[in-house]
């Protein structure tokens, strides 16, 4: 079996494809992973994320792991980017930093319209979960409330 590093977008795509249908059957660890990916994945399109990784690797000679980290974090300024690269790539100049940031900015701009749709979808999911929790709490609190009102 071959191991391959994945972007959060690729992991999210795999996980959501398999687990989104029946969230009630997830273990607590699976549910936490599902929630983490929903909240912290900045790039929703796994193909675009992989293309950006490939560009960063080919044009700037970054390792796959470093390119994936940049795609996952999406730094916006040279000051945010520098901590990820200064140790392993001390010879990168400002032109390279600007080029890397342009690749990452292209990912972010491509995500902007879809992000609103995803946020709306996640809000509906959160409301459904909250409603299910509230129903469960009401069922547990039901007899207690009756006792208090007497």
Task: Classify residue 122: in a domain, yes or no.
Answer: no
Instruction: For residue 150, tell me if it sits in a domain.
Output: no
- pLDDT given for residue 22 in this prediction: 79
Specify if 119 maps to a domain.
no
Q: Is residue 121 part of a domain?
A: no
Q: Is there a domain that residue 101 lies in?
A: yes
Report yes or no on whether pTM surpasses 0.85. no
Q: pLDDT in tens for each of the 150 residues of the chain?
A: 899 999 999 999 999 888 877 778 889 999 899 899 999 999 999 999 999 999 999 999 999 999 999 999 999 999 999 999 999 999 999 999 999 999 999 998 877 655 555 554 554 355 446 544 644 554 455 454 444 444
Please indicate, yes or no, if residue 147 is contained in any of the structural domains.
no
Domain containing residue 105: 8-111
**Domains of the chain: total:** 1
What is the rounded distance in angstroms from the CA atom of residue 133 to the CA atom of residue 36? 19
Q: Residue 87: give its domain's CATH number.
A: 1.20.1250.40
Measured CA distances, 89 to 28, 61, 72, 128 (Å): 39, 9, 19, 47
pLDDT at 5: 96
Residues 6+ positions from 95 with CB-CB distance below 8 Å: none
Q: Is residue 135 part of a domain?
A: no
Residue 118 inside a domain? The answer is no
Check if the beta carbon of residue 24 is closer than 8 Å to that of residue 42. no
């Amino acid at each position: 079996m071959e191991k391959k590093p994945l972007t959060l977008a690729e992991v999210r795509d795999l996980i959501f494809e398999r687990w989104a249908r029946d969230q009630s059957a997830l273990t607590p660890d699976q549910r936490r992973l599902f929630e983490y990916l929903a909240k912290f994945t900045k790039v929703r399109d796994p193909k675009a994320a992989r293309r950006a990784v490939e560009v960063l690797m080919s044009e700037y000679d970054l390792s796959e792991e470093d390119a994936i980290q940049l795609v996952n974090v999406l730094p916006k300024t040279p000051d945010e980017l520098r901590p990820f690269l200064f140790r392993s790539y001390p010879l990168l100049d400002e032109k390279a930093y600007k080029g890397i940031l342009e690749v990452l900015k292209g990912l972010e701009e491509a995500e902007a319209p879809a992000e609103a749709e995803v946020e709306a979808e996640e809000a509906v999911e959160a409301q459904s979960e909250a409603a299910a929790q509230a129903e469960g709490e009401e069922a547990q609190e039901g007899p207690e409330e009756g006792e208090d009102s007497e």
